[in-house]
Amino acid sequence: MGRYWNEEIECMPREQMVKLQSERLVAQVKHVWDNVPYYRKLMEEKGVTPEDIKGIEDLHKLPFLTKADLRDAYPYGLLAKPLADCVRIQSTSGTTGKRVVAFYTQKDLDIWEDCCARAIVAAGGTNEDVCQVCYGYGLFTGGPGLNGGSHKVGCLTLPMSSGNTERQIQFMMDLGSTILCCTPSYAAYIGESLHKMGYGPDDIKLKAGIFGAEPWTEEMRHEIERLLGIKAYDIYGLTETSGPGVSFECEEQTGMHINEDHFIAEIIDPDTGEVLPEGSKGELVFTSITKEAFPLLRYRTRDICILTREKCSCGRTLVKMTKPMGRSDDMLIIKGVNVFPSQIESVLLKMSNASPNYQIVVDRVNNTDTFEIQVELTDEMFSDTIKSVEAVEKKIGEDIHSMLGIRAKIRLVEPNSIPRSEGKAQRVIDRRKLV
Report the distance separating Cα 435 and Cα 433, nearest Å: 6
When binding is defined by CB under 8 A, the residue of 11, 87, 406, 413 that contacts other proteins is 413
Lay out the site mask for other proteins across 379-408 (x = CB under 8 A, - = otherwise): x--xxxxx--xx------------------
DSSP state letter for 382:
-
Quick one: CA dihedral 160, 166, 171, 172, positive or negative? positive
| Smallest separation, CB 412 to other proteins (Å) | 6
Cα angle 186-252-110, degrees, rounded to a multiple of 5: 65
Binding residue (CB under 8 A) for other proteins from 288, 301, 322, 378? 378
- Taking CB under 8 A as the criterion, the residue among 8, 15, 271, 414 binding other proteins is 414
Question: Contact with other proteins (CB under 8 A): which of 416, 428, 431, 435?
Answer: 416
E strand spans, 205-243: 208-212, 231-237
415: contact with other proteins by CB under 8 A: yes
**In a 3-state reduction of DSSP, which class is residue 27?**
helix
Q: Should residue 411 be labelled a site residue for other proteins when binding is judged by CB under 8 A?
A: yes
CB 227 within 8 A of CB 188: yes
> Long-range contacts for 161-167 (Cβ within 8 Å, ≥24 apart)?
161/133, 161/134, 161/135, 161/136, 161/137, 162/134, 162/135, 162/136, 162/186, 163/134, 165/189, 165/190, 165/193, 166/193, 166/197
Amino acid at 181: C
Q: Is 210 helix (H, G, I), strand (E, B) or coil?
A: strand
H or E, element range at 106: helix 106-122
Contact flags string 66-105 toward other proteins, x per CB under 8 A: ----------------------------------------
Closer Cβ to other proteins, 278 or 390, answer by number: 390
Stretches 38-46, 134-142, 219-227, 374-382: which one binds other proteins (CB under 8 A)? Answer: 374-382
Q: How far is the CB of 353 from other proteins (least distance, A)?
A: 15
The yes or no reply on residue 342 touching other proteins (CB under 8 A) is no
Smallest gap from Cβ 320 to other proteins, in A, equals 46
CB of 410 to other proteins, least distance (A): 9
Residues contributing to the site for other proteins (CB under 8 A): 377-379, 382-386, 389-390, 411-417
